[in-house]
Structure 1
Amino acid sequence: MLSYSSSTDFELTNLLRKGDNNAFNEIYKRFQGLLYVYACKVIKDKEEAEDIVQEVFLYLWDKRATINITSTISVYLYTAVRYKFFNLLDRKKVRINYEDSFRQFLEQGEYITDNNIRQKEFSKLIEQEIDALPDKMREVFVLSRKHYLSRKEIAEQLGISEKTVKNQINHALKILRGKIDLFTFLLLLFNK
C-alpha cells in the first residue's frame, strides 16, 4: 500500500494529476499551514489570507488534470498565492475607484438635482406671476417674450399702439422683477 506521507512532492503531483484524492489531501496537509503564514505576511489580513489559500487549493483540485506545474508543487503554490494577492489588490483598487466615482457622482448628482429642482420651482413661480398679470398686460408680455413678436407685430395683432405695447411690457417687467427679487432673496435665505 502506498504511503502518501512518505511520498515526494513530485510523486504526489503526478498522483494528483490522475485525480488521486489522497494525494491532494497530503499536499494540502503539507502546504496549507505554510501558505497561510506566507499569505498573512503578504496580505496582513488573516481572513483574506485564509480565503486566498483556500482559493488556491480549490483551483488546484479543479484543474488537477490540466494543471501545468513546470517546477515543484511548492513553487507553484507560493506563486499562486502571490498571484491571488495581486488579483485581490486589483479588485480592491477597482472597488475603491468605483466607490470614489460613485461618491463623487452622488455629491455632484445631488447638487445638479438640487439645482434642477430649484430651477423648475423658480420657473413655475415666474409662470404663476405671469399668469397673475392683468389680462391685456399678460397677453402683450406673452406675445413679446414667449412668441418673440416685435412691438409692431403685437400692436397690429391686438389693434393697439406700439407705445401701449412698450408700456405694457415695461410695466409687466417691473412687476415681475419685484416678485423675482423677492423670490431670489427667499431662495438664498432658505438654502443656506
Structure 2
Amino acid sequence: MPNKIALRDIQLIDRLKMDDETALSSIYKEYWEQLYMSAYHVLKDSQACEDIIQELFIKLWNNRYSITINVSLKAYLYASIRYEVYRQIRTGTVRGDIYDDVLERIHTPAAYDNIEYKELTEQVSSIVNTLPDKCREVYKLSREECLSHKEIASQLNISTKTVENHLTKALRQLRTSIGSVFLLQILFLFIKK
C-alpha cells in the first residue's frame, strides 16, 4: 500500500489529468519556494530562477495527459529543475561565472559527507595537480586556504595582478577539464531535495 505522500502524489497527478487547475495550484503552492531556492542556490539569478520555475509548471500543465511519474512528485520536480539549470549553464543562458562559483563551493567546508562529493573533490584535486607549480600554489592558497588576492601576493612576493592571472588560468583549465557531465554531477549534489 502506498504511503500518504505517494498516494497524495498519485491523486494530484490524476486530478491534473482531469484538467483540475486546483491540483496544479496545490503543487505550485507546496513546491514553488523550495524549487526556486534550489535553483537560486546554483544560479544566483532571481529572474532566471523565476523563469525556470514558471516554465516547469507550464510544462507540467501542458504535458498533464502524458505525464508518468515513477518516483515521488517532489523528486520529479527537483530532477526537472536540475536538468533545466544544467541546460541553462551548458547553453550559456546564465552567467558564465557559475563554473567558478560551483568550483569554489567544492572547497568550502560543508556537510557533503557522501561518496559522490568525495569523488568530485578528488577529480578537481587531480585536475589542480596538473597545473603549473605557481598556478597550482595560487589556486590552493585562494580556494583551500581562503586567502585574498592581496594576501597571496604578499605571501608569494608577486603582484595581485599575477595572482589574478594565475587564478584565471587555473579556473579556465578546470572549466575545460570538467566538461558538462562533471558539471551535471556537481549540480545533482548542490541542488537539494
TM-score (norm 1): 0.43
Structure number with greater Rg is 1
Q: Which structure is higher in RCO with an 8 Å CA cutoff and minimum separation 6?
A: 2
Task: Please identify which structure carries the higher helix content.
Answer: 1
TM-score (norm 2): 0.43
